[in-house]
Amino acid sequence: GAVVSQHPSWVICKSGTSVKIECRSLDFQATTMFWYRQFPKQSLMLMATSNEGSKATYEQGVEKDKFLINHASLTLSTLTVTSAHPEDSSFYICSAPSGTASGTQYFGPGTRLTVL
């Protein structure tokens, strides 16, 4: 089946630095990708919808200047956490719809961010 990869799988950074997370669809094209955040023992919260060739759509309460999303190609979306702080530590997960009528979405394995 289709695969979505994320890189890195985990990252530790110092407070105040920026971190970039990549989400790639490996064998299919995705004009749309979704970014979620999951805190420990909690559910996935949608952060934003990444759109190829246009600006991302952010959910209410998500700071677009802090979480920069760039959908550079039909197979790559990046999430940059700018000026990261300890409260940004979380599990970041991306997904991409298959583009077929199956309604299937493929999830990446996630990226664990720890901000010291």
Partner 1 sequence: AQSVTQLDSQVPVFEEAPVELRCNYSSSVSVYLFWYVQYPNQGLQLLLKYLSGSTLVKGINGFEAEFNKSQTSFHLRKPSVHISDTAEYFCAVSDNQGGKLIFGQGTELSVKP
The residues of the shown chain that bind partner 1, judged by CB under 8 A, are 32, 34, 36, 42-46, 49, 93, 95, 97-99, 101-105, 107-110, 112
Beta bridge partners of 105: 97
Partner residues linked to 76 by β-bridges? 24, 73
Nearer to partner 1, 65 or 100 (CB): 100
| Two tokens, residue 37 | 């955040």
Structure tokens at 62: 């998500």
Q: Which is nearer to partner 1, 14 or 102 (CB)?
A: 102
For residue 98, give the H/E element and its range. Answer: none
Q: Tell me the sheet residues that pair with 89.
A: none
Least CB distance from residue 113 to partner 1, whole Å?
14
Least separation in angstroms between residue 80's CB and partner 1 is 20
What's the min distance (Å) between Cβ of 33 and partner 1?
Answer: 10
